[in-house]
Amino acid sequence: MEDDGYYLETDLDFSFTSTTTDRTFTSSSARSSLARSSLTLSFNDRLSTATTPSTTTSSAATTLHHRRQDPHWTAIRAATTLSSDRRLHLRHLKLVRHLGTGNLGRVFLCHLRDCPTPTVFALKVIDRDVLTAKKLSHVQTEAEILSMLDHPFLPTLYARIDASHYTCLLIDYCPNGDLHSLLRKQPGNRLPVSSVRFFASEVLVALEYLHALGIVYRDLKPENILIRGDGHIMLSDFDLCFKAEVVPTFRSRRFRRVSTPPSSPRRRRRRGGGCFSAESTYEREEIVAEFAAEPVTAFSKSCVGTHEYLAPELVAGNGHGSGVDWWAFGIFLYEMLHGTTPFRGETKEQTLRKIASSDDVAFPLELLEGEGMREAKDLIQKLLVKDPTKRLGCARGAQDIKRHPFFEGIKWPLIRNYKPPEIRGLVKKSTKAHAGHVTGVSSPRRRKWLWWTLSNLLRSKRSNSKIQSNNNSYHYVGKSYNASHKRV
Ligand SMILES: Nc1ncnc2c1ncn2[C@@H]1O[C@H](COP(=O)(O)OP(=O)(O)OP(=O)(O)O)[C@@H](O)[C@H]1O
């Protein structure tokens, strides 16, 4: 079971000194960094209490953060209150298991020791000694950006602990993995339009917030969209971001609204209620004040990102701004609906050539059929405009994208309260788990779920068919498209 560690409190004290406990290594560079780490870093009390002084920076937002009442902050406050220097140290944390290895370091599931209501976190451990100067600057960027964030669809940085040559970032743990892995579990590697609309809306709101802070994200892709325990998203990986000036503005926008006059039975009687009565619709002009915060003057020349998601201006290398995120948003929509990206070539060179060519995005037939697909296609076409000055979102930011008919009916201020879609591979946690607690004993509901999964597994083995549908869950054995997007 993928996330057993989330439920089962273990007595294991995963030590970094043990190479046998760590099995999830992704690259040779990660492996070499591990070899070095394995000699020196030990998350035992000895290291953090006596020999190595550590400095903690709790997120500046501790007192202001919108989630300051949630159990994570409460647990951190409890731990630091008991700490002699009122700081959080590595000794306060107990590692549960290794979650994955990235470009900069390894990520562990952990919780606070001696906490009455154990609360889980993800701890990103970066060994600065094995990183190049360029990667060190990425660490700096990531830590700096994380410390600025206070948004439900972005990680909270609970603490930064610098101990010896390690920098450790304590952030929210997302038990549902990333959207790329979730897509790979769906039939045809794609999601239904309603689910796409849900995830796209949340990503859009997160990008809007980043842009309002002057942050250009530059690495939007399903791999970087983690799914929280409650099914909502959390954008991750901020090491490729760049920061620019932004001047938020309120603008007045005129628009014509088509309305039906309010009608009471009395009024209807008076009007006679005929076909051509005053019951017909009428148009009125409205003026609304809109908040727009798009870093329109943002400019960078470095070519960073992930091949299939790179905007043409990034590929050309003549400089780019926040429009690269709106291009990537178009690619992201296409991939969720179609299962693959639109400019993917046999090789990375070919992919870049296709992006840079003047050819417009092509839509396979299935992307043209079905409810909401016409609107989706129109939105994708408007986002994948090669000239950034004509691309949707580049002038007034997310506001223009939110108004597109694809998102019609979305009540943006209530987006956090929307029920996440029920899709295959998304495990809903109980309220307790969703708040981030580790539970020692498996609940009757979980036991029931385990039995249900086990019996389904046996049934699907017996009948050996390709796709089995059981209400709304599918067991799919098809052509797998596993390659995740690697960065430039
Ligand atoms: N907050 C989190 N909750 C759960 N799992 C996480 C979390 N953060 C990272 N992970 C897991 O750890 C792995 C490594 O994450 P990390 O952010 O270091 O690298 P990455 O996503 O590969 O990005 P990079 O491009 O910086 O290498 C991810 O692939 C993901 O599986």
Query: What are 272-331's pLDDT values in tens digits?
Result: 444 344 456 677 777 777 777 788 777 777 777 889 999 999 999 888 899 999 999 999
- Domains in the chain: how many in total? 3
332 domain-assigned: yes
Quote the domain boundaries for residue 320. 179-246+294-417
Q: Which atom of ligand 1 is nearest to the CA of 181?
A: 31
Domain end among 128, 148, 171: 171
101 CA to centre of ligand 1 in angstroms: 6
Same domain, 307 and 372: yes
Q: What is the pLDDT of residue 305?
A: 83
Q: DSSP code of 187? A: G
In this structure, what are the phi and psi dihedrals at residue 423, rounded to the nearest 5 degrees?
-125, 160
Same domain, 254 and 274: yes
Q: What angle do CA 234, 327, 350 make, to 5 degrees?
A: 110
Q: What is the pLDDT of residues 160-173, one digit of tens each?
A: 999 999 999 999 99
Q: Name the helix (H) or strand (E) containing 74.
A: helix 71-82
Q: Please, are residues 486 and 307 in contact by the beta-carbon 8 Å criterion?
A: yes
Nearest CA to ligand 1 atom 18: 102
Same domain, 166 and 197: no
336 domain-assigned: yes
Q: What is the pLDDT of residue 41?
A: 30
Same domain, 265 and 134: no
How far is 239 from 207, CA to CA, in rounded Å?
15
187 domain-assigned: yes
Same domain, 354 and 237: yes
Q: Which atom of ligand 1 is nearest to the CA of 236?
A: 17
Nearest CA to ligand 1 atom 22: 102
Nearest Cα residue to 340 out of 364, 358, 316, 321: 364
pLDDT in tens, the chain (488 residues): 333 333 333 333 333 332 222 323 233 333 333 322 222 233 333 233 323 456 666 554 455 667 667 889 888 988 888 788 888 999 999 999 999 999 999 999 999 988 777 789 999 999 999 999 999 999 999 999 999 999 999 999 999 999 999 999 999 999 999 999 999 999 999 999 999 999 999 999 999 999 999 999 999 999 999 999 999 999 999 999 998 877 777 777 776 766 666 555 555 444 444 434 445 667 777 777 777 778 877 777 777 788 999 999 999 988 889 999 999 999 999 999 999 999 999 999 999 999 999 888 999 877 678 889 999 999 999 999 999 999 999 988 999 999 999 999 999 999 999 999 999 988 866 434 333 333 333 344 544 544 454 445 434 444 433 323 333 222 222 333 456 777 77
Catalytic residue among 3, 22, 172, 219, which?
A: 219
Q: What is the pLDDT of residue 35?
A: 28
Q: Which atom of ligand 1 is nearest to the CA of 239?
A: 26
SS3 110: strand
Q: Is 219 a catalytic residue?
A: yes
**H helices, E strands: number in the chain:** 15, 14
How far is 57 from 168, CA to CA, in rounded Å?
10
434 domain-assigned: no
430 domain-assigned: no
Structure tokens at 65: 């953060």
How far is 45 from 91, CA to CA, in rounded Å?
5
What lies within 8 Å, CB to CB, of 18 at 6+ separation is: 38
How far is 153 from 156, CA to CA, in rounded Å?
9
Domain end among 127, 155, 171: 171
427 domain-assigned: no
429 domain-assigned: no
Same domain, 285 and 303: no
Residues with CB under 6 A from ligand 1: 99-105, 107, 122, 124, 171-174, 178, 226, 236-237, 239, 487
Give how far Cα 91 sits from Cα of 49, 120, 163, 165, 172, Å.
7, 15, 11, 16, 19
Give the CATH number for residue 25: 3.30.200.20
Q: What is the pLDDT of residue 454?
A: 40
475 domain-assigned: no
Nearest CA to ligand 1 atom 13: 100
Q: What is the pLDDT of residue 460?
A: 44
236 CA to centre of ligand 1 in angstroms: 7
Q: What is the pLDDT of residue 302?
A: 76
SS3 332: helix
SS3 54: strand
How far is 390 from 30, CA to CA, in rounded Å?
41
Q: Which atom of ligand 1 is nearest to the CA of 173?
A: 3
Same domain, 364 and 412: yes
What lies within 8 Å, CB to CB, of 414 at 6+ separation is: none
Same domain, 351 and 395: yes
133 CA to centre of ligand 1 in angstroms: 21
How far is 234 from 224, CA to CA, in rounded Å?
8
Q: DSSP code of 263? A: -
Domain end among 120, 139, 171: 171
Give the CATH number for residue 393: 1.10.510.10
- Please choose from 3, 26, 95, 99 the residue to mutate so as to test ligand 1's pocket, defined by most ligand atoms within 8 A of CB: 99
